[in-house]
């Protein structure tokens, strides 16, 4: 791989890392809101929707981690 393409991959990695960090911050906020929800609302539709959102964001973070690992391997 030439220097130009390797540089482009490294820039892409930086962009993905920023997305990862932003998504992780949002997921943490949603998890905190979920953890602080009153007991009488736990099990409600809203609670389940929030829980699903946290799970989906966690899956997305895992996918971003995998993508970064693959790009790092390609850049070697």
Residue 46 in any domain: the answer is yes
| 17 assigned to some structural domain | no
16: in domain: no
Question: Is residue 15 in some structural domain?
Answer: no
Tokens of 24: 């992780």
Encode pLDDT of 6-55 as tens digits.
999 999 999 999 999 999 999 999 999 999 999 988 889 999 999 999 99
- Let me know if residue 36 belongs to a domain: yes
Q: HSE of 1 in the Cβ direction (CA atoms, 13 Å)?
A: 14
CB-based contact 47:41 (threshold 8 Å)? yes
What does pTM read for this prediction? Answer: 0.88
If pLDDT is split at 50, 70 and 90, which confidence band does 1 have? Answer: confident
Domain of 48 in residue numbering reads as 23-75
Give domain status of residue 4, yes or no: no
Q: Is 32 a member of any domain?
A: yes
Number of domains in the chain: 1
How is 13-66 classified by DSSP, letter by letter?
HHHHHHHHHHHHHHHHHHHHHHHTS-GGGTTSHHHHHHHHHHHHHHHHHHHHHH
Residue 37 lies in a domain: yes
Q: Phi and psi of 42, rounded to 5°? A: -70, 135
């Amino acid at each position: 791989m030439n220097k130009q393409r390797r540089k482009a991959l490294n820039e892409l990695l930086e962009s993905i890392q920023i997305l990862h960090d932003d998504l992780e911050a949002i997921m943490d906020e949603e998890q905190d809101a979920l953890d602080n929800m009153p007991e009488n609302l736990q099990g409600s539709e809203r609670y389940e929707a929030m829980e699903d959102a946290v799970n989906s964001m966690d899956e997305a973070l895992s996918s971003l981690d995998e993508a970064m690992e693959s790009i790092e391997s390609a850049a070697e």
